[in-house]
Chain A
Amino acid sequence: MTFYYEGQPVEAYEGESVAVALYAAGFDSLSWSSSLVRPRGLFCMIGKCSSCFMIVDGVPNTKTCREPVREGMRVERQRGWASPVASESVELSELPEVRIDTDVLIVGGGPAGLSAALTLAEFGLDVVLVDEHFKLGGQLLKQTHKFFGSVDLFGGMRGFQIAEDYVKRISSNPRIKVLLESVAYGAFRGGIVGVASKEAHYFVKPKALLASTGAQERYLDFVNNDLPGVIGAGGAQTVMNEYGVKPGERALVVGSGNVGLIVSYQLLQAGVKVEAVVEVLPEIGGWFVHAAKIRRYGIPILLRHTVKEVSGNGRVEKAVVVEVDEKFNPVPGTEKEFDVDLVLLAVGLEPDTRFAMQCGAVARWSPELGGLVPLRTLDLETSVPNLYIAGDSAGIEEATTAIIEGKIAALSIATKLVESSKASKAREEMDKLIRFLWDVYRASPLLARARKGKESVTVSREEMDKLRVEFPPPISFG
């Protein structure tokens, strides 16, 4: 199909996002920063940053990474804050207001939300599952590597295959209503959640709510870190693995955690030359086996190194890497230059807790989990009654633990909403899963850091009751 970028026709494939179609067509800059008028390129590609905001058919601030291409659509760059929409230039349609009463509202259709939705439906509960993207699956969609685990935890399957399996089962389940391209923008008094979608403005009144809202990628400070071509590692995965677009020719990857190692391997598969992976710590961050996978194809991992600056005319052309000392200060004279057109940041994730925070959940800072996260009981209920959290939004871990946490939260909700014989079955299953997660899965010494983080934000039922007295929740669900 064809759409128009500032008047020029652009060829695109159906099912592509506007941002990806533009990138594939060679347009590196999608917007201009407001005060310094610097070009902005892709960054997160999952609707969390604001790098790809554009004017689409007259509507400013459209997240083009989440906007599917349509025949004849008009796309323009915007400079910083957009002017208000002029009513004569845009056709505004009245959306119907629709009230939905349901058992459970799930915000976020990634691994945690998907596993929760199916578990709840199996217990005969009605579910509304909301996601911002135009497809379900969250970050599973771009995971082309095989997952660790056991067979019953999808071990050996590739991430996108796990998403396909869930989506198949969910779309054929009459108890689960899926709202795509929809944003749960806020909770209101009375436990009603506003959901803005393209066909209606929904007011959802659930008996319980699961916020499985995922995470966003971190930035890193260095000179010209906003130059197009500096992309989040996950953003690059979206471009190449979800849409099949080669993100560049030569890459430097910053960070050797699992994301950095896996993205390096995937770049190699896509035919991109990976010049190096740099890691500021004196040790590789991710699993050894992921590191070995890229080392045997000759990709160097430079420990105690960081990126100092990038440069280029409208797009990254060069990156300068420097060694750091014990205090992480750059060591002068150790600079190395790489001719690269891609610098991928894999320097960690930050939980997206905006929904739970807006509901007034009591939170605590956990460096191990990537930031501020809601306190929760073992069965993942927050201080806001019947508001549950699971997955990366509950503290950065991984897709498999997100699947397990989603199931635990769903089972806990089921114990409250189903009749007693089924409730005791749910409780039994939940207790078993909690024991597995804490005593088996997280018992690996290499997961000690995440485990410590999760311990620091998990409280007993009694402590939670006290917290609710001390910090009365502004709203509750149910």
Chain B
Amino acid sequence: MAAVQGFRKTGVVGLEDLSALGLLPPEWRLRKGPVVVLECPEMIPCNICVPYCPTKAITMERLIDLPKVNWDKCTGCGVCVAVCPGLAAFVVDLSKEDADYVTVPHEFLPAPKVGEEVVLLNKHGERVGKGVVTRVWERNKTYVVTVKTPKGLGMEVRAIWVER
């Protein structure tokens, strides 16, 4: 039997794992602006991101395949963040000098508001800082929230918590 993959023990997928699976955007693409990070390392029988992607940047041959991203086509629009049933799609923008921007799915009330300061959480649920909400939209009860984070946290922040 194959050894258990690390993320199946921790519930946390590392950048090396994502890179090995082709799910990590390349350096040149990260420098260009917002782009998707699909933290979807297992063969789930699911392809919802494919038909919903407005630029057809995500493809999948069979239902159980891992998604493949065409980094030229992805615009980082965040539609996949809203529709992914696994809440495994995120958009990162590391192209700005003063800050990073991360777009996460959020399914908790109260709904975050633009301009609000929120707690930033990493994949382990650790509080790594505070950020400011810059955009919120909703689709079928999933809020798609973009937060401005301190520079350097773009690949770390994967959730927010509203403290009100």
Chain B nearest CB, measured from A125 CB (Å): 29
Residue pair A268, B126 in contact (C-beta under 8 Å): no
| 1/0 contact string of A285-322 vs chain B (CB within 8 Å) | 00111111111111101010000000000000000000
Once the chains bind, are B47 and A155 in contact (CB under 8 Å)?
A: yes
Closest Cβ of chain B to A292, distance in Å, is 5
Docked complex Cα distance between A115 and B106 (Å): 31
* Complexed CA–CA distance, A208 and B108 (Å): 46
Residues of B within 8 A of A90 (CB): none
Check A296 against B123 for contact (C-beta < 8 Å).
yes
> A288 CA to B14 CA in the complex, in Å?
12
Q: Is B107 in contact with A283, judged by CB distance below 8 angstroms?
A: no
Binds B, one of A190-198, A213-221, A440-448: A440-448
Closest to B4 in A: A283
State the Cβ distance, B127 to closest chain A Cβ, in Å: 9
Taking CB atoms, residues of chain A closer than 8 Å to B85 are 145-149, 155-156
Question: Which residues of chain B have C-beta atoms less than 8 A from A444's C-beta?
Answer: 42-45, 64
Binary CB contact string for chain B from 13 to 52 against chain A (1 if under 8 A, 0 otherwise): 1000000000000000000000000011111111110011
Give a binary string over B45-71; 1 marks a CB under 8 Å from any A CB, 0 the rest: 111100110000000001110000000
* Cross-interface CB contact of A289 among B9, B39, B64, B108, cutoff 8 Å: B39
Q: Given the known A-B contacts A268-B108, A440-B64, are A151 and B125 also in contact in the complex, defined by CB atoms under 8 Å?
A: no
B interface bracket (residues with beta carbon within 8 Å of A): 35 or more
> Is A441 a contact of B121 with CB atoms below 8 Å?
no
- Interface residues of A, CB < 8 Å — how many? 40
Q: A355-384 toward B: CB 8 Å interface, digit per residue (1/0)?
A: 000000000000000000000000000000
Q: A151-B51, A297-B159 are in contact. Are A291 and B11 (CB under 8 A)?
A: yes
- Least Cβ–Cβ distance between A205 and chain B, in angstroms: 39
* Tally of contacts, chain A with chain B, CB under 8 A: 122
CB-contact partner of A295 in B63, B123, B141, under 8 A: B123
The answer to whether A158 has its CB under 8 Å from any CB of chain B is: yes
- CB of B11 within 8 A of CB of A288, answer yes
- Asked if A93 is an interface residue, CB under 8 A from chain B, the answer is no
Question: Known: A288-B41, A290-B86. Contact between A156 and B9, CB under 8 A?
Answer: no
Minimum CB distance partner of B12 in chain A: A295
B contact residues around A292 at 8 Å (CB): 7, 11-13, 39, 88, 123, 158
Q: How far is the CA of A150 from the CA of B126 in the complex (A)?
A: 34
B43, B46, B161: residue with the most chain A Cβ atoms closer than 10 Å? B46
Report Cα–Cα, A441/B8, bound state, in Å.
21
Interface centre among B10, B63, B141 (most CB of A within 10 A): B63
Tell which of A287, A291, A296, A440 touches B44, judged by Cβ atoms closer than 8 Å: A287
Known: A150-B47, A155-B47. A269 touches B107 (CB 8 A): yes
**A284 contacts the other chain (Cβ, under 8 Å)?**
yes
Q: CB within 8 A of A148: which of B45, B123, B124?
A: B45
In the complex the two chains form, is B140's CB within 8 Å of A158's CB? Answer: yes
Q: Which residues of A contact B83 (CB under 8 A)?
A: 146, 156
A289 pairs with B125, CB closer than 8 A: no
Does A474 interact with chain B (Cβ within 8 Å)?
Answer: no
Whether, in the assembled complex, A282 has its beta carbon less than 8 Å from a beta carbon of chain B, the answer is yes
| Most chain A C-beta atoms within 10 Å of own C-beta, residue among B45, B124, B158 | B45
Chain A, range 254-269, C-beta contacts under 8 Å to B: 268-269
Q: Which of B58-109 contact A (CB under 8 A)?
A: 62-64, 83, 85-88, 107-108
Closest to A145 in B: B85
Indicate if B134 sits at the interface (CB-CB under 8 A).
no
Determine whether the beta carbon of A296 is less than 8 Å from that of B125.
Answer: yes
Known: A284-B8, A288-B13. A297 touches B48 (CB 8 A): no
* Least Cβ–Cβ distance between B122 and chain A, in angstroms: 7
> A289-B88, A296-B121, A296-B123 provided; 6 other pairs, C-beta below 8 A?
A148-B44, A150-B51, A283-B4, A284-B8, A288-B13, A440-B45
Q: Name A's B-contacting residues (CB within 8 A).
A: 145-151, 155-158, 161, 268-269, 282-284, 287-299, 301, 303, 400, 440-441, 443-447
Q: Could you show 18 A-B contacts with beta carbons less than 8 Å apart? A: A148-B85, A149-B85, A150-B47, A155-B47, A156-B85, A158-B140, A282-B4, A288-B11, A289-B40, A289-B44, A291-B11, A292-B13, A295-B125, A296-B124, A296-B125, A296-B158, A443-B62, A444-B64
